[in-house]
Amino acid sequence: MPEKEPIGVIGVGWVGLVTAACFAELGHEVYARDIVPEKVEVLRRGEVPIHEPGLPDLVRANSQRLHFTTDIDEVLQNTQLLFCCVDTPPTYSGDADLSRIEAVLDSVGNSDDHALVMKSTVPVGTGRSIRRRSDGLGYVSNPEFLQEGSAVRDFMHPTRVVVGADDDSGEFAERVEALYEPLDAELVRTDVASAEMIKLASNAFLATKISFINEIANVSEDLGADVEEVARGMGLDERIGPKFLQAGVGYGGSCFPKDVQALKQLAGNTGYHFQLLTAVIEVNELQKRRTIGKLQKHLGSLVGRQIALLGVAFKPNTDDVREATSLVLAGRLQGEGAQVRVYDPIASERAREILGDARICDSALAALDGADAVVLVTEWPEFRELDWEGGVKARMRTPLVVDGRNFLDREALRDAGFTYEGVGR
Ligand code: UDX
């Protein structure tokens, strides 16, 4: 059997670490470089600095094949395919900030023995401009479609593998394709710009589905329909599908808000006004305002009111709080004069850095103590298991529940004397 191609990974954040660990699991030697020495030290000890189910086991099981380093030369000497996994956060204008990618290009140089394999989400046209600048280096676009919380499974069982390359990098593209062969996934081989667009358009479409169902929810509320029933009935149509039709407080996370904004901005830069995406973003914003409106409907002014937020992570099974709806709600509620107390089973520590010690509680019950209302922001299973009828009700000053994910047992809560507000029902 031919020896497996060694893999370089540049940027060992969430995408980089999942990529590194999964390629190691597939039998490749992986040289993964990050510029933060502390992170590299932690990883070398076999510890995983993020909460991602299955990842610690994978890192531990493949420790012999995983080489973490701060030294780019170690990566360049041992590998030719360099998976670029640095983040591309939004700038103030909404464009993607490509400074970390610039720094990678500076450190990698222009050797024609190597190819940059772009996993980071970049604006359409980035590959072309990199090729103009570093015309020796090969370039392959290979966007990731990993969902936090199920990233290892998503990597090992992808819905599709997208490989974009232009003619002069065809040989590198074939080598990238070969890496994914054991996964037996549908392959989309295309040009670089189309691959870049597939990623942005996929995320924008999923965000559109969410904003669409959120608007249906808002209208359903006034017309007496139940959005959960509506989504169930819609989703059975194969052309629509059941996924991403969960109404709620709106989408968050490190990808959707950034990528939708970036695509809108990218279109704007070409002179095209992307009306639909403008609305998708606006609906997502209004959904948070609407959540606060539900509290005000029952409590009137929120000045001095104590509001418990259950869940800080932008969704369950992750400790990621980037662009988390909870943080926006916490800020707005404080702006309304409310006292906010939050609890999250996993993400509390990350939230502490942003919200400060005083607002973080050690348990859901502690956050609910003396609360005038509770807003369920993240659908962690343990929130459903709370003793709502007993311990929770006894602790709260006012039994008001705003269920931002339609996650709790509405009938049981109402029977127990709670005022229950869901989304679109
Ligand atoms: C997303 C994409 O799904 C993934 O393919 C891409 O590579 C990275 O971005 P992720 O950020 O992990 O993944 O989150 P995802 O599971 O897609 O959820 C995004 C947000 O939408 C969350 O805040 C979630 O709560 C919200 N959401 C999702 C809804 O409000 N309703 C839904 O029906 C689905």
Output the six-digit token pair for 34: 């990050």
Q: What is the DSSP letter of 375?
A: E
Strand ranges in 104-158 using DSSP code E only, listed in sequence order: 115-118, 138-141
- Together in a domain, 395 and 270: yes
- Together in a domain, 139 and 288: no
- Give the 3-state secondary structure of 252-314: CCCCHHHHHHHHHHHHHHCCCCCHHHHHHHHHHHHHHHHHHHHHHHHHCCCCCCEEEEECCCC
CA 149/CA 373 separation, integer angstroms:
29
- Together in a domain, 259 and 177: no
- Together in a domain, 256 and 382: yes
Tokens 């609910």: give the residue: 368
Ligand 1 mutation target, pool 314, 379, 407, most atoms within 8 A of CB? 314
Q: What is the pLDDT of residue 181?
A: 97
Supply the residue whose CA is at minimum distance from atom 20 of ligand 1. 251
Domain of 326, in residue numbers: 248-421
How many alpha carbons fall within 13 Å on the CB side of residue 75? Answer: 30
Within a domain: 2:
no
Output the six-digit token pair for 253: 């996370």
Ligand 1 mutation target, pool 315, 327, 405, most atoms within 8 A of CB? 315
Within a domain: 298:
yes
255 given a catalytic annotation: yes
Candidate list 22, 84, 85, 255, residue with the active-site label: 255
Give yes or no for residue 380 CB within 6 A of ligand 1: no
Give yes or no for residue 245 CB within 6 A of ligand 1: yes
Q: Which residues pair with 360 in a beta bridge?
A: 342
- Together in a domain, 149 and 24: yes
Whether the Cβ atoms of residue 21 and residue 44 lie closer than 8 Å to each other: no
Single residue among 174, 190, 206 that ends a domain in this structure: 190
Within a domain: 12:
yes
Whether the Cβ atoms of residue 382 and residue 302 lie closer than 8 Å to each other: no
Fill in the amino acid letter for 1.
M
Whether the Cβ atoms of residue 324 and residue 404 lie closer than 8 Å to each other: no
- Count of domains in the chain? 2
Q: Which residues pair with 306 in a beta bridge?
A: 339
- Together in a domain, 172 and 270: no
- Together in a domain, 158 and 264: no
Whether the Cβ atoms of residue 203 and residue 264 lie closer than 8 Å to each other: no
Within a domain: 202:
no
Within a domain: 223:
no
Q: What is the pLDDT of residue 1?
A: 46
Q: What is the pLDDT of residue 85?
A: 97
- Distance from the alpha carbon of residue 277 to the mean position of ligand 1, in angstroms: 16
The pTM of the full predicted model, rounded to 2 decimals, is 0.96
Q: What is the pLDDT of residue 349?
A: 87
Output the six-digit token pair for 378: 């993240």
Within a domain: 222:
no
Ligand 1 mutation target, pool 14, 88, 153, 210, most atoms within 8 A of CB? 210
Give yes or no for residue 379 CB within 6 A of ligand 1: no
76-120 pLDDT, tens digit per residue, is: 999 999 999 999 988 888 788 999 999 999 999 999 999 999 999
CA 299/CA 373 separation, integer angstroms:
9
Please choose, from the candidates 268, 123, 90, 269, the residue with its C-alpha nearest in 3D space to the C-alpha of residue 197: 123
Q: Check which CATH number belongs to the domain holding 142 and give it.
A: 3.40.50.720
Supply the residue whose CA is at minimum distance from atom 28 of ligand 1. 244
- Together in a domain, 127 and 270: no
Q: What is the pLDDT along the chain (425 residues), one digit of tens a residue?
A: 458 999 999 999 999 999 999 999 999 999 999 999 999 999 999 999 999 999 999 999 999 999 999 999 999 999 999 999 999 988 888 788 999 999 999 999 999 999 999 999 999 999 999 999 999 999 999 999 999 999 999 999 999 999 999 999 999 999 999 999 999 999 999 999 999 999 999 999 999 999 999 999 999 999 999 999 999 999 999 999 999 999 999 999 999 999 999 999 999 999 999 999 999 999 999 999 999 999 999 999 999 999 999 999 999 999 999 999 999 999 999 999 999 999 999 998 888 888 888 899 999 999 999 999 999 999 999 999 999 999 999 999 999 999 999 999 999 999 999 999 999 99
CA 289/CA 308 separation, integer angstroms:
17
Within a domain: 358:
yes
Supply the residue whose CA is at minimum distance from atom 9 of ligand 1. 255
- Together in a domain, 130 and 274: no
Please choose, from the candidates 344, 280, 347, 281, the residue with its C-alpha nearest in 3D space to the C-alpha of residue 319: 347
Within a domain: 307:
yes
Whether the Cβ atoms of residue 7 and residue 29 lie closer than 8 Å to each other: yes
Give yes or no for residue 203 CB within 6 A of ligand 1: yes
Give yes or no for residue 204 CB within 6 A of ligand 1: no
Output the six-digit token pair for 272: 């095209």
- Together in a domain, 162 and 266: no
Supply the residue whose CA is at minimum distance from atom 16 of ligand 1. 147
Give yes or no for residue 251 CB within 6 A of ligand 1: yes
Supply the residue whose CA is at minimum distance from atom 1 of ligand 1. 147
- Together in a domain, 67 and 159: yes
Whether the Cβ atoms of residue 227 and residue 209 lie closer than 8 Å to each other: no
Give yes or no for residue 147 CB within 6 A of ligand 1: yes
- Together in a domain, 265 and 181: no
Give yes or no for residue 21 CB within 6 A of ligand 1: no
